Amino acid sequence: MEVNFNKFSVKIKKELKTTSGFDNEKFWPVFMVSLALLLMVSFGPDLIEFAQAATGSVALNVTIASTLTFNMDATTKAFAALTPGTPVQATSLLWITTNNAIGHNTTIARASTTATLSSGAQTISDNPSGNNWTAPAATSTTTGPSATWANGTTQGLGFRVVVSGTDIGTGASTTCGAATGWWGATDDGAAKFSGVSTSSSAQKIADCNQYLSGGGGQTVVYKLDTPTTQAAGTYTSSPITYTVLAN
């Protein structure tokens, strides 16, 4: 049997229902706006990208040699007069700018194989809490020979690198490469100190393994306390050398 569809038509009739809870006149605008919003939220960036014109491209290659700038705020640091049992502090600000893609590392060593601070034959220990800094092979979470400073108990000359992202005053960048496993998770009660490494082997204190366009800073804090039996006098130091090299 053949059916001639030309003889039939579909009639759509809108049924008028006044009892419906939904306003029939508002349905289609709400529907269209909802659909548009969903499409925008879900595919917005793709639609924009899709709409953008196609472009040609050319690849250029250039090798830029690495350079490094290393500045320090001063060549000497003075502590306030020390009363044994009440530690005193001083800081050194290091500022490094390099275009090396994998950043730079900073090491510390004292010039003398004996103590950093001395007054004639008298010396101040470089082993606060029995620690003298030797860098572990790995950074970040690996711990090294450093410990928190117990005021009144810890004695000697110690140092640490500030770990917080604090603007140290030169430029806009922050402390880079100071491992919390080495110097403590924070710069307050959890701060860890160690002794300045001996001259025979410079030790890494920070490893900033990234390129920072504006440069990166490192703040070193020195902390000093002595036993009450420490001979009075003015103690001066053999130079503490900071070495910064490209990674």
Partner 1 sequence: MDKSFKLTIFIAILFSAQFFIGLFWFHAAQAKIGFTIFPAKLSLEVNKGSEYNGVIRLTNDGDDKTMVLADVQDILPTSGSSGYSYLPKAPGITTLVDWIEVSRKPFELKAHQTREIPFTIKVPADASAGSRFAVIFVATGSLGGGGQLNVSARTGTVVLLTVPGDFRQTGEILNFRAPEFIWKRNPITFKFDFQNTGTVYFEPKGTIVVTNIFGKKIVNIEVAGNVVLPTGMRTLEAVWPKPSWLLGIYKTHLAISVTGKGDVATKDAVFYALPFYPSLGALGILIILIIAGWYVKKNFQFTIIKKE
Identified binder of partner 1 from the candidate list 51, 53, 58, 65, rule CB under 8 A: 65
Of the candidate residues 1, 10, 53, 59, the single one contacting partner 1 (CB under 8 A): 10
Q: Which stretch binds partner 1 (CB under 8 A): 69-77, 145-153, 173-181, 185-193?
A: 69-77
Pick one of 43, 86, 141, 232: the residue that binds partner 1 (CB under 8 A).
Answer: 43
When binding is defined by CB under 8 A, the residue of 160, 192, 204, 223 that contacts partner 1 is: 204
Rounded CA-CA distance 191/208 in Å is 19
Taking the alpha carbons of 109, 129, 139, 164 in that order, is the dihedral positive or negative? negative
The β-bridge partners of 21 are: none
Residue of 208, 134, 150 whose CA lies nearest to 175? 208
Partner residues linked to 91 by β-bridges: 221
Q: Does 8 bind partner 1 (CB under 8 A)?
A: yes
What's the rounded Cα separation, in Å, for the pair 172 and 207? 19
By CB under 8 A, residue 164 contacts partner 1: no
Closest contact distance (angstroms) between CB of 238 and partner 1 is 7
H or E segment and range at residue 29? helix 24-51
Cβ count within 10 A of residue 100: 18
Nearer to partner 1, 2 or 189 (CB): 2
In Å, how far from its chain's centre is CA 230? 38
- Candidates 43-51, 143-151, 161-169, 186-194; binding stretch for partner 1 (CB under 8 A): 43-51
Interface map 109-148 toward partner 1 (x if CB under 8 A): --x----xx-----------------x-xx----------
Decide: is 26 part of the binding site for partner 1 (CB under 8 A). Answer: no
As given in the structure block, the two tokens for residue 73 are 């705020």
Q: Interface with partner 1 by CB under 8 A: which range of 54-62, 160-168, 182-190, 229-237?
A: 229-237
102: DSSP letter: T
